[in-house]
Homo-oligomer: A and B are copies of this chain.
C-alpha cells in the first residue's frame, strides 16, 4: 500500500469494494430470486460509486441484501471521501478542502492525532445529519409502515440521500412521495449538504461560530472557493427551476399530469436540483421533453462541490471554465472572480478535467452505440452521462442493457467517481519537463 499513489489507492479501493460487495450479494439469503454475477457486480458498483443505476430492483434483495447495499453506499460515499482527503493530507499535497481551516490545522501539524480529529469531525457531522434525517422521515413513514419497516425505510433512504446514492427501496424512485413536502424536503436537504462538500460545510460552521448566522448575508467573509460554490449552487438551482417549470409545465407525462399548481412547483423544484448528483426522481424521467432532458444532462455533467459525495466535473471547474471563456471574449489576459485573478494552474486543471470528462463520455457512448445499437440515441447518451456523474437518473435503459453494455456502465461509474479526484492528484504533482525542448506556437482555429 505504501508504494501506491492515491489515484491507484482510490480506483483500487472502489474496485475492491465493488468486487467484495458483489461477492456478499451473491451469498444465499441476500436475494429472493436467483442473481447473476453481473447483476451483483452492477448493484455493488452502483452502490460503492453512489450512482443509483440498477439492473435489479432492490425489492428483489432480502433485508440483509439491502443492508449490504446500504453499507456499501456509506463506505463508498462518506468513507472514501474521508480517506481521499486524508491520503492527500498525509502526502502533504494541497487537497480539495485546503481552504477550510480545520483542515489547514491538520495540514500544518499533520500529526496522527490531528488526522484522527479531522476524521472524527467529518464522521460525526455526517452521522448526525443522517440520523436526524432518518428521524424526520420516520415521522411520516412509521405511522404508515409500522415501527420496524418504517424505521428501516427511514434509515436506508436517509443514508442513500446524504451520500447522494439515489437508491430507493421502491421501483419508481420517489414518484410515490412526489406530493409529500416533508419527505422531499428532508431528502433534498440531505443530498444538497452531502453534495456541496466538507470544505464548504466546514468553512460555514467556522464562520458561523465567529460571526453568528448573519455571516450568511456577508459573502465577503468567505474564501473565494466557498463563495463560488455557494453562489453557483444558488444560481444554478434557481435557473434550473425556471427551466424545468417552463419546459415541463404543460407536459402531461410529467408536471402537466399533476393535480394542482403547488404540487407542480414542488416536483419542479426537486427535479431541478436532483440531477447534479442525487439521482432521486419524483417525475417520470423518460417522459421529459428533449429540451429538459438535455438540460438535465448538462447538470449531471457539472455535478456538485469538490471533495463531496458528488461526481461530475464539479461546480468550481464549471465556473472556472465559464469565467475563462468570458475572459477570452473580453480579451482579458486571465479570468477573475470577486477581485481575485484566477491562477493559470487552476484554469489549466479545470480544462484538463473537462476535456478528460468529454473524451471519456464520448468514448463510452461510442462503445455503447456499438454494443446496444437498437436503443434511442438520447437514452444511451443520458445513461452514460448519468453513470459518469454517478447521478443514477435513467430513461429506463439500465435493466435492458446487454452484457457488454452493463460492463461499459460499470466502468463509466468507476471512472466517473475516481476520475476527477485522481486527475486532481495527478495534476497537483506534475513534473517539470526533463528534456528542455524548443518552444513552438501553432495556429489555432
Contact surface of A with B, Cβ cutoff 8 Å = 94-99, 199, 224-225, 228, 247, 289-291, 293-295, 298, 306-307, 313-314, 316-317, 320-321, 324-325, 328-329, 331-334, 336-337, 339-346, 349-356, 358-359, 362, 365-366, 369-370, 373, 376-378, 380-381, 419-421, 423-424, 426-427, 429-433, 436-445
A346 — which chain B residues lie within 8 A by C-beta?
440-442, 444
Complexed CA–CA distance, A373 and B250 (Å): 14
CB <8 Å contact, B291 and A366: yes
Partner of A321, one of B324, B349, B355, B429: B355
CB <8 Å contact, A442 and B331: no
Excluding A228-B442, A317-B445, A376-B377, 18 further A-B contacts by CB distance (< 8 Å) are A94-B443, A199-B443, A224-B442, A225-B442, A247-B370, A289-B369, A290-B377, A306-B443, A321-B355, A325-B359, A329-B356, A336-B433, A339-B438, A341-B440, A342-B439, A343-B439, A344-B344, A377-B377
Known contacts being A343-B439, A355-B321, is A445 close to B430, with CB within 8 Å? Answer: no
SS class of chain A's interface: helix, strand, loop or mixed?
A: helix
Known contacts being A359-B325, A443-B95, is A438 close to B340, with CB within 8 Å? Answer: yes
Complexed CA–CA distance, A378 and B379 (Å): 10
Complexed CA–CA distance, A97 and B445 (Å): 11
Complexed CA–CA distance, A377 and B290 (Å): 7
**Most chain B beta-carbon contacts within 10 A, residue among A94, A95, A99, A291:** A291
Q: List 20 A-B contacts (CB under 8 A).
A: A224-B442, A228-B442, A293-B369, A294-B369, A295-B366, A325-B356, A325-B359, A328-B356, A329-B426, A331-B430, A331-B431, A332-B433, A341-B438, A341-B439, A343-B440, A345-B441, A346-B442, A346-B444, A354-B355, A424-B443
CB <8 Å contact, A350 and B247: no
**Most chain B beta-carbon contacts within 10 A, residue among A98, A340, A420:** A340
